[in-house]
Structure 1
Amino acid sequence: MSADRQLSVALVASNRYPISQPFAGGLEAHVWYLARALRRRGHRVTLFAAEGSDPNATDATLRVQPFCPSALAVGDPSAAPQRFLADHHAYLTLMTDLAAAGPGAFDVVHNHSLHYLPVAMAPALEIPMLTTLHTPPTPWLESALGVSMGVGSAFVAVSRHTAQSWRPVVRDVDVIANGTDPNDWPVGDGGTDLAWFGRLTPEKGAHVAIDVARTTGRRLHVAGPVSDRAYFEDAIAARLGDDIVYHGHLDQPALARLVGSCAATLATPLWDEPYGLVVAESLSCGTPIAGFRRGGIPEIVDSTCGRLVEPGDVDALAHAVDEAATLDRGAVRDRAVAHCGLDTMVEAYVRRYHHLIAANFAEHSRTGVA
């Protein structure tokens, strides 16, 4: 099979969130980058995601089927929450339709969802599937793997750290690091202020970034979706002021301008970040990182582009800010392009697609399946 042959790729994302700006999270941003890049290379992309996704990210869509239970079913006291049922129905419909469509529908299915059904039902597909592991192991996905035994899908993780966390459950896990488009994250002039951006949830640690910024005496700019309202009101909103500014949920161009205008970006995860897409995006803007040494972040940040300290050490992180702010912004950008570039990621995925297609063809030829 020619490596430059146009492929038909079904990208499976979240049924809850559209693949559009401003992004609900890093997974949605990742799928957006990948989808657009595949299309630019001449591949056909069909997207499964919530309504309202960017039309420039897809050639066609697989519609999310809503679930409307009957009055009797709604009244069942043992019924699962409606949101759970909606997710279950959406992915059950998707996988049943893909199984019925047969091998001619797509060359490959690339699963990015965190739902259990695509993995559990992968053996029913005649189309080869690749699953990207964006998170540490979850009970639901471990259960699905227990049912499927990993048959029907190959697996890649977004970092070596994440791959290692899955290896007790998934025998073969390759690593393809997430990538960002440098054209979308141009180098900024920098400044004296600090940035923090991402989902506003406790495990992302924006409240710790506020502590660090106030220790350094620098203004902090915060941006991102409020994913946990109670946390935001108690830990963030109550502490806003002239020195701590919340900009809301910005689209990508506005966010790039904000990050590029800052001296450094704070990365303060209170969990093991599977990759750290905000880190790669900040580096692309030439804005160095001062952060905690957790999860996949140390795989991205080296001495040319940031400073990392032990998790939870606010005083050490405050000291690291001043060091990071002195780094050469051109060298920071170079690190992003070399290590987190979009082209490298997409080329790795396309090679993986071709490998899976060839292996699937060989298996069908061996077993006599048409």
Structure 2
Amino acid sequence: MIAPPWFELPPRGYGGIESVVADLVDQLAARGHEVTLVGAGRHRTAATRFVPVFDDPPSARLGTPAPEVIHAAGAAAALDGLDVDIVHDHTLAGPLLARGRDVPTVVTMHGPVDGEQGEYFARLGETVDVVAISDAQRRLNPGINWVGRVHNAIDVSSFPFQPDKDDYLLWLGRFSPDKGAHLAIDAARKAGRWIVLAGKCSEPAEKAYFESEIAPRLGEDVEYVGEADASFKRQLLAGAAALAFPVQWEEPFGMVMIEAMACGTPVVALRRGSVPEVVDHGVSGLIVDDYAGFADALRTADGLDPLRCRQQAQRRFDLPVMAAGYERVYRALVEGSRDLQEITADTPGQRRSAGRAG
């Protein structure tokens, strides 16, 4: 298992991919698999072996090429001395080395599949077997060598269930126009509701967006509380009357949606990307086709049953579901099969489909 180099696993704050990888490692170990994890920092998972390429994660250099390349070289060196059945790579540069391996390399597509990143993975061809994190993501680029789809998951039991909510709405994420924090503020004001904002704002683009679109909108009914660590995030999610998710791009998954559901908090989201796969409209949230109706949905979302939100998260997005999905992918590839059925719980209103897209 090759994790990105940027944060320790599990991450103490921001780090969606790192959280997924750490949870998957722990689940696979609990299911009896021997897992070698290549990462950075301290050994904090249940992996059988841990190979730290960086003693200190290069978080401040997030997005620069050198740490990625060094990390890929370190992972290749670690694999030279190991007898493994399969490699699961979550990095950007690492899959370039898959061509020289005798064992299959699985890559989870955590990000967008259009633009240069999509072209990169398409050009890798059959040297890697790519897992989508949503059907919506896979449909956007049929030229990638998809082998299946496994929805992301969380440890639902680690999120507090709170049936009695406070009166605030919540926006939680990374400060980017794609995440729509400014739209969440405007809709909350239109709905006459107080909204709390919590999110990552450390990179130059994030700071510029915050200064131009968020800071001028702050006021008595809009509170910014900074970036939330794991504990504070759970507190915010559990108390919120609803999570505002006015996403402005084809979001491939959106972890915060299932985190809110686990706390019994409904999600109000625009119909973009994976939203219809994650949110069961009228049960775990409200899906809005047009932003014009977003404020009305925020007014009414707290009428949904918190217990049913929690139950949806447990049934469809708990860690054992994800682990079983990846376990099936691994086994099929090791045995030489590529005729994979969909491997997570059914999406409401959709059928399972067989085989690989494209």
TM-score (norm 1): 0.81
1:64 maps to amino acid:
V
In structure 2, the CA distance between the partners of 1:216 and 1:61, relative to structure 1 (3 Å rule), is same
2:194 paired with 1:216: no
1:331 maps to amino acid:
R
SS in 1 for 2:315: helix
1:125 maps to amino acid:
R
Alignment partner, residue 32 of structure 1: 22
SS in 2 for 1:248: coil
Q: Structure 1: which 5+ runs fail to align?
A: 1-10, 67-81, 361-370
Alignment partner, residue 63 of structure 1: 52
Compare CA radii of gyration and give the structure with the larger one.
1
2:174 paired with 1:192: no
2:243 paired with 1:269: no
In structure 2, the CA distance between the partners of 1:144 and 1:260, relative to structure 1 (3 Å rule), is closer
After TM superposition, list the pairs within 5 Å mapping 1:1-370 onto structure 2: 11-52=1-42, 55-64=44-53, 83-95=64-76, 97-98=78-79, 100-101=80-81, 104-113=82-91, 115=92, 117-137=93-113, 138-140=115-117, 142-143=119-120, 145-146=122-123, 148-151=124-127, 153-170=128-145, 172-188=146-162, 189-226=164-201, 227=203, 228-302=206-280, 303-311=282-290, 313=291, 315-359=292-336
- After TM superposition, the structure 1 stretch with the greater mean CA deviation from structure 2, 194-203 or 226-235, is 226-235
- The Cα of 1:89 is off from its aligned counterpart by 2.8
CA contact (8 A) 1:120 1:145 kept: no
In structure 2, the CA distance between the partners of 1:59 and 1:245, relative to structure 1 (3 Å rule), is farther
Please tell me the root mean square deviation across aligned C-alpha atoms, in Å: 2.4
- The Cα of 1:85 is off from its aligned counterpart by 2.8
- The Cα of 1:244 is off from its aligned counterpart by 1.4
Alignment partner, residue 59 of structure 2: none
SS in 1 for 2:143: coil
CA contact (8 A) 1:163 1:173 kept: no
In structure 2, the CA distance between the partners of 1:163 and 1:140, relative to structure 1 (3 Å rule), is closer
- The Cα of 1:358 is off from its aligned counterpart by 2.5
- The Cα of 1:97 is off from its aligned counterpart by 4.4
- The Cα of 1:281 is off from its aligned counterpart by 0.8
CA contact (8 A) 2:108 2:131 kept: yes
The separation in 2 between residues aligned to 1:40 and 1:177, in whole angstroms, is 20
- The Cα of 1:169 is off from its aligned counterpart by 2.9
2:317 maps to amino acid:
C
SS in 2 for 1:275: coil
1:318 maps to amino acid:
A
The separation in 2 between residues aligned to 1:281 and 1:270, in whole angstroms, is 20
CA contact (8 A) 2:11 2:18 kept: no
1:49 maps to amino acid:
G
The separation in 2 between residues aligned to 1:140 and 1:326, in whole angstroms, is 41
TM-score (norm 2): 0.83
2:36 maps to amino acid:
T
The separation in 1 between residues aligned to 2:9 and 2:216, in whole angstroms, is 31
The separation in 1 between residues aligned to 2:12 and 2:193, in whole angstroms, is 27
- The Cα of 1:144 is off from its aligned counterpart by 5.2
Q: Structure 2: which 5+ runs fail to align?
A: 56-62, 338-358
1:241 maps to amino acid:
G
CA contact (8 A) 1:136 1:166 kept: no
Q: Deviations over 1:151-196 (max 9, x none)?
A: 2x222100000111231232x3311111111111121131221011
CA contact (8 A) 2:9 2:45 kept: no
- The Cα of 1:140 is off from its aligned counterpart by 4.3
- The Cα of 1:252 is off from its aligned counterpart by 1.9
In structure 2, the CA distance between the partners of 1:174 and 1:63, relative to structure 1 (3 Å rule), is same
Q: Deviations over 1:294-342 (max 9, x none)?
A: 000111112211111125x1x4101011221100111111111122122
Q: How many residues align?
A: 325
Percent identity of paired positions between Structure 1 and Structure 2:
31
In the TM superposition, structure 1's runs of 4+ consecutive aligned residues that sit over 6 Å from their partners are none
- The Cα of 1:141 is off from its aligned counterpart by 5.3
